[in-house]
Copies of this chain bind each other. A is one copy, B any other.
């Protein structure tokens, strides 16, 4: 399936209206296959207002198209969710890799987050694993 078909399907299946901005943003995520920030989108899509891009990201978060990736820089970055994600239950239990050379953040979809032991009385909802280092391209 082409991205231009797939993006509309993604928006429809998450009950979002089809707009140019949303299609373009989904397209971009489908194409680059890496995590993006608000700033990345602003640079890529100068034809859209930054507030619109901001709200697009938020509607994608709410509807479960994207997930937020924790990082230490203070800039929020977003990655595409698996098809199995729903707004309530996110199934993106994979590892995020941040390259300290090129700065890109990748979702290592095929790498499971290992089991984690937590003290008594704590309830686990989500586990995030962020690995910093040098990616294969920069090594």
Name A residues whose Cβ lies closer than 8 Å to a Cβ of B.
68-76, 95, 97, 100, 108, 110-111, 114-136, 139
B122, B125, B129: the one contacting A116 at CB < 8 Å is B129
B134 close to A125 (CB less than 8 A) = yes
Given contacts A70-B71, A130-B128, A130-B130, contact A122 B95 (CB under 8 A): no
Given contacts A114-B114, A114-B115, A131-B116, contact A136 B122 (CB under 8 A): yes
Give the docked Cα–Cα distance between A90 and B128 (Å): 20
Given contacts A120-B136, A121-B139, contact A128 B129 (CB under 8 A): yes
Given contacts A72-B70, A75-B74, A111-B117, contact A131 B136 (CB under 8 A): no
Give the docked Cα–Cα distance between A84 and B105 (Å): 29
Complex interface: chain B residues within 8 A of A95 (CB): 116, 118
A100 close to B125 (CB less than 8 A) = yes
B114 close to A136 (CB less than 8 A) = no
B75, B111, B123: the one contacting A118 at CB < 8 Å is B111
Looking at the assembled complex, report how far the CB atom of A36 sits from the nearest CB atom of chain B, in whole angstroms. 14
* Smallest CB gap from A111: residue in B: B117
Closest 9 CB pairs of A and B: A121-B136, A114-B114, A126-B132, A123-B134, A68-B72, A125-B133, A70-B70, A70-B72, A128-B130
Complex interface: chain B residues within 8 A of A134 (CB): 122-123, 125
